[in-house]
Structure 1
């Protein structure tokens, strides 16, 4: 049998209104009364119906976060940044992992709309403009993270991935590499397209260099390992002498495949650079060069913009774009 606010009031010997104040505005109640009510709550095992309270208030104390891959440490750190900033503002983060599946992403957006969250942060995989506009029209702020909103009427917090792709390819070229393979996919992901575009621009500006694209099904270690094994199986004259992987998980997979192959030493025969600079990039057997994104800061900044827009819906939209940073290590011979 569930315990009600009336049960707590009876046990504490106070009114229902006093219990409500203790739960929501304790500063209005004397300290001894607060203690008496809280003792009654513990003794009875009372748990408030926060969903009902939020429906009455018309807004939630939570925000939704939809990310591409919860198994990717980049998104883990982004979520940690969002949670820390949200907690400081008295909010909670509800996490949804789309798994790079547009249908699952759409279901999370529907769920967050039903839950009447205060706002939604999203690193999208599908076409979500219509859903996000519906959310905003109902008073739910929405902000893109890890991708630029561009011409869409939303705020965003991202990194200049074109510049990041250019940084990675230029670094390989400066290390004397001329046959570069870009490993990444699927290409309908904005991040993959932009990083490839940056790499392509760097290679096209370097005489005698060429860029090969090896598309993967997803951005995982397994897919990187498959791509690396395919590279290792080629004749030496037909192999690239460098790999730019669209993220660090792919790069780790390529690195593993190279370590298992004969005559494919890293970085002598194959230089490898990743993207994101996740926590264990520096701890791989051959420390991995990478392009760093401020993942924690992206999450924090996204929450700050989201809360501001939730409180002031007419505030101008913002598109904040951080600059990436090259982190050279042993995998490129740096």
Structure 2
């Protein structure tokens, strides 16, 4: 048979046994190496031999196969409301970095702020046998939490909380943040104020609105509130409704920076200057708000630290027996005002 007619060489994916043979160790030792995120001790020389064997053989462990042998997959799910929001990049990046540093893979799902889709994503993650889930897209109802709990999957809430503490939760103090943002506008001399609020079913938005109402209760006049989706277009439309009137507000507090960016667009639509004609304060401290020409005054949501702490809490719970789970923990980060150029004293 000539070369052109020679049968192709048989190839197959390398297995744990191949890695063990190459490294001169047992399959159990290779398995411990692959599951090192769970605390298995191993000599540095043994670890290096296994690492070299994996690299030489181009071995890729199957997360599902590993999950079948130890009832875990070294995978964490993350559910956010809308990945297009300016708020999420820092939070997602911090959770991913913390997860990968501990040997976990992150699976991301974006619900589009749809509670039904959120539950579908949660179910899909459960079917993938994730070890735990960080929920950022939760609303007042907790069906998704109940669903995961029934399947023995650990949960942590990040940047959003529920009326009752049903799971480990890490948030910034939205009530205090709403008060600080509004108090800043009042301290600058603004008396005609308005608030662009998020949906009341999202507790942080409800808390920010409550903070605004507490700080404006003594102004002696009805203070308008426009409810909008937490998107640029939602903030833009709400701001247009508030500003396109006979006696518009001189200061507006937006429940998120994403909506505040829409507010800046609305001011441009109406030929209003920020902060000369309208002062704007947001909530989140997103990266784009720091850019020259925007200079958004805001409340820092501490997204990076919130993501890190949420991941740490989840990783502590994953190895624990389900019948020995401690009571849920609430970590509340302080709300810090970041002053930039979008808010100033009103014109006389």
- With the length of structure 2 as denominator, give the TM-score of the two structures: 0.83
| Aligned partner of 2:238 among 227, 230, 245 | 227
| Aligned partner of 1:305 among 308, 313, 328 | 313
Mean alpha-carbon deviation: is it higher for 278-287 or for 318-327?
A: 278-287
Structure 1 residue 39 displacement after superposition: 5.9
Cross-structure match for 1:283: 291
Mean alpha-carbon deviation: is it higher for 82-91 or for 17-26?
A: 17-26
Mean alpha-carbon deviation: is it higher for 13-22 or for 179-188?
A: 13-22
Deviations 1:61-100 (A, max 9, x none): 0111111121223222111111122122221221111111
Structure 1 residue 202 displacement after superposition: 0.4
Deviations 1:157-189 (A, max 9, x none): 111111111111111111111111111332222
TM-aligned CA distance change 1:137 to 1:182, over 3 Å: same
Q: Determine the C-alpha separation between the residues in 1 that align with 2:266 and 2:105.
A: 41
Q: Determine the C-alpha separation between the residues in 2 that align with 1:327 and 1:162.
A: 16
Cross-structure match for 2:224: 212
Cross-structure match for 1:169: 182
3-state SS of paired residue (1:331): coil
Runs of 4+ in 1 over 6 A off after TM superposition: none
1:254 is the counterpart of 2:263: yes
Q: Determine the C-alpha separation between the residues in 2 that align with 1:301 and 1:50.
A: 25
Cross-structure match for 2:54: 38
Cross-structure match for 1:158: 171
| Aligned partner of 2:124 among 86, 111, 136 | 111
Q: Determine the C-alpha separation between the residues in 1 that align with 2:339 and 2:16.
A: 64
Q: Is the 8 A contact 1:184 1:250 kept in 2?
A: no
1:321 is the counterpart of 2:332: yes
Cross-structure match for 2:33: 25
TM-aligned CA distance change 1:112 to 1:175, over 3 Å: same
Q: Determine the C-alpha separation between the residues in 2 that align with 1:331 and 1:99.
A: 29
TM-aligned CA distance change 1:39 to 1:138, over 3 Å: closer
3-state SS of paired residue (1:86): helix
Q: Determine the C-alpha separation between the residues in 1 that align with 2:50 and 2:129.
A: 30
Q: Determine the C-alpha separation between the residues in 2 that align with 1:260 and 1:272.
A: 15
- How many residue pairs get matched? 325
Structure 1 residue 316 displacement after superposition: 2.8
CA RMSD of aligned residues (A): 2.8
Deviations 1:207-261 (A, max 9, x none): 3354211111x111112222333344323xx211111111111111111221232
| Aligned partner of 2:91 among 73, 78, 88 | 78
Q: Is the 8 A contact 2:243 2:249 kept in 1?
A: no
- With the length of structure 1 as denominator, give the TM-score of the two structures: 0.86
